[in-house]
Copies of this chain bind each other. A is one copy, B any other.
Amino acid sequence: MDEIERVRDFNRYYTRRIGVLHLGGDRPFGEARLLFEIGAGADLRDLRARLGLDSGYLSRLLRSLSTQGLVTVTPRPGDARVRTAALTEAGRTALADLEERSRASVAGLLAPLTPPERDRLLRAQAEIHRLLRLAAITLTPVADSSPAARACLRAYASELVTRFPEGYDADGALLPPGTLHDGTFLLATEEETPVGCGLWQRFSDGAAEIRHLWVSPAARGLGLARRLLTALETDAAGHGVTTLRLGTHSSLVEAIALYRSAGYQEIPPYDDSPYNQLAFQKLL
């Protein structure tokens, strides 16, 4: 049985087992989901966007919930076009009940397992979650002046400000927008939000430099930095680059470990940036 078949097999088994679990109770799934999503109150437009519902459908669902006395829908003060939904006291208890029943069915699933077995289950789930998130992240080349690219670089810079003991001067050290001509800016995106970046840029001597490799805190621990690095190397190699260099700050220990494990050799610093206390090189 090959890799794909094993994954399909697992999917079948898992969804079958999980399908049995208590999801919406006796309440239709759509209503249960809506109760959950309203939570502390929400505008209908937001609910529609979050749940991907048709406005007519949402309207009917809400009416059903409000005739059951679980939610109230009122015009938002200040803008009466928008209406906001809120749970009533009965709605809150209904939601709590749903939650409790869902928890109970999971607890029933776990009950026969010993603590070490449960621990292994949780670890395996965390591993799968990690890997699936990583698999869902896409890398795309974008212009270094694109809003997403600039947002990543700003986040990168503001993190370095706090990480470097001497601070970080973004204006002086960050790649100015629109200046990346011979190279590629790669943006990592998870479900439409940018979660990392990196770029390579050719030197006048034909070698190239990797810069601004960054992974957002929300996406750390997935192995994304390594993937970005390999993708940058492949892209650069595809553009004829044979020598890659990079400089880094001695306080960025994880980055340094990454470079070493990716086959980069330490070389003497090749520029005068105060932040590049260490330099590395790799021949592609």
| Chain A residues within 8 Å of B, Cβ to Cβ | 3-8, 10-11, 13-15, 17-18, 21, 102-103, 106-107, 109-113, 117-118, 120-122, 124-129, 131-132, 134-138, 223, 227
User: Which residues of the partner chain B approach A117 to less than 8 Å between Cβ atoms?
Assistant: 131, 134, 223
Nearest 3 pairs of A and B residues by beta carbon: A124-B127, A10-B125, A124-B124
A135 in contact with B122 (CB, 8 Å): no
CB distance from A97 to the nearest CB of B (A): 15
Beyond A121-B131, A124-B131, is A18–B13 a contact (Cβ under 8 Å)?
Answer: no
User: Which residues of the partner chain B approach A3 to less than 8 Å between Cβ atoms?
Assistant: 110, 118, 122
B106 in contact with A134 (CB, 8 Å): no
C-alpha gap A223/B124 in the complex (Å) = 17
Q: A106 touches which one: B8, B103, B124, B127 (CB < 8 A)?
A: B8
Closest to A125 in B: B10
CB distance from A226 to the nearest CB of B (A): 9
Beyond A117-B134, A135-B109, A135-B113, is A122–B6 a contact (Cβ under 8 Å)?
Answer: yes
A112 in contact with B137 (CB, 8 Å): yes
Give the oligomeric copy count: 2
CB distance from A29 to the nearest CB of B (A): 12
A7 in contact with B106 (CB, 8 Å): yes
User: Which residues of the partner chain B approach A227 to less than 8 Å between Cβ atoms?
Assistant: 112
C-alpha gap A132/B9 in the complex (Å) = 14
Beyond A121-B131, A124-B124, A132-B14, is A4–B113 a contact (Cβ under 8 Å)?
Answer: no
User: Which residues of the partner chain B approach A135 to less than 8 Å between Cβ atoms?
Assistant: 109-113
Q: A11 touches which one: B6, B18, B112 (CB < 8 A)?
A: B18
User: Which residues of the partner chain B approach A134 to less than 8 Å between Cβ atoms?
Assistant: 112-113, 117
C-alpha gap A275/B15 in the complex (Å) = 44
C-alpha gap A118/B138 in the complex (Å) = 17
User: Which residues of the partner chain B approach A13 to less than 8 Å between Cβ atoms?
Assistant: 129, 132
C-alpha gap A102/B5 in the complex (Å) = 10
User: Which residues of the partner chain B approach A118 to less than 8 Å between Cβ atoms?
Assistant: 3
A/B interface sample: 27 pairs, CB < 8 A: A3-B118, A3-B122, A6-B122, A6-B126, A7-B106, A7-B109, A7-B121, A7-B125, A10-B129, A13-B129, A13-B132, A14-B18, A14-B132, A15-B15, A17-B132, A109-B135, A111-B135, A112-B134, A112-B137, A113-B131, A113-B134, A120-B131, A121-B127, A121-B131, A121-B132, A124-B125, A125-B128
Closest to A137 in B: B112
User: Which residues of the partner chain B approach A7 to less than 8 Å between Cβ atoms?
Assistant: 106, 109-110, 121-122, 125
